[in-house]
Amino acid sequence: MALRRWTEICFSLTSDPTELRELLDVSSRSISAFVDDTIAAIAEQIAREREGLTSGSHAERLETVSLLLDGAPIPAACLAVHRYRLAGEHTAVVVWNDRADADLGAVDRAAELVAAVAGDQRYLTVLAGAATRWVWVHGRPEPEPLRARAAEVPDVRIAVGLTGDGVDGFRRGHLDALAVQRMLRTSGPLPIRSPRTTRPSWSPC
């Protein structure tokens, strides 16, 4: 519509074919340059946003995961969160220490041992708080080996959610792990069954 209106204006300014041809040529090149510059600027902004979502600091990682958990329409290229594969099965875990003098190194080691028991070297961990880590691993860590390894990190507690597929499993497993964490904070380190399934959610410590 803008181009049609501008063309009408050009024809009203001159009836000389040479002038009109030059005017329309300059207008065409100006419009093309504007469109090209706009597309380039948008592409650059998208690239910056994508880089911020898929790499960088703990704060950026938390932001990316929070968007995923909230069901935000993140582009497909951004779904590989920090080189963590979102396809296939996931188990979500919450690792934390409620003590005021919590050993933060032990919390990190607990997150690592969860991944080690699951046999996943490409796990995802997010700093959800000073002494809390959200962890996702592919597959599912076996309960007994995890209970045994948990003795290496006293005072650290581990809540394991249900295993699920894809992005939906990524979300649902985390919500389940948070529910287990809330229960453990009030009931102690006892085996807990999820009300939605007969498959147990549990914490080794």
At residue 84, the pLDDT reads 81
pLDDT per residue as tens digits for the range 34-93 = 999 999 988 887 776 666 555 556 777 777 788 888 887 665 445 555 678 888 899 999
Higher-confidence residue: 79 or 161? 161
Exposure of 72 in the CB half-sphere (CA atoms within 13 A): 13
pLDDT per residue as tens digits for the range 172-186 = 999 999 999 999 888
Exposure of 35 in the CB half-sphere (CA atoms within 13 A): 7
Cβ(94)–Cβ(205) below 8 Å:
no
CATH 3.30.565.10 fits 83-201, yes or no: no
Mean pLDDT value of segment 7-25: 89
Domain ranges of the chain: 2-53, 83-201
pLDDT per residue as tens digits for the range 82-98 = 678 888 899 999 999 98
Mean pLDDT value of segment 141-148: 90
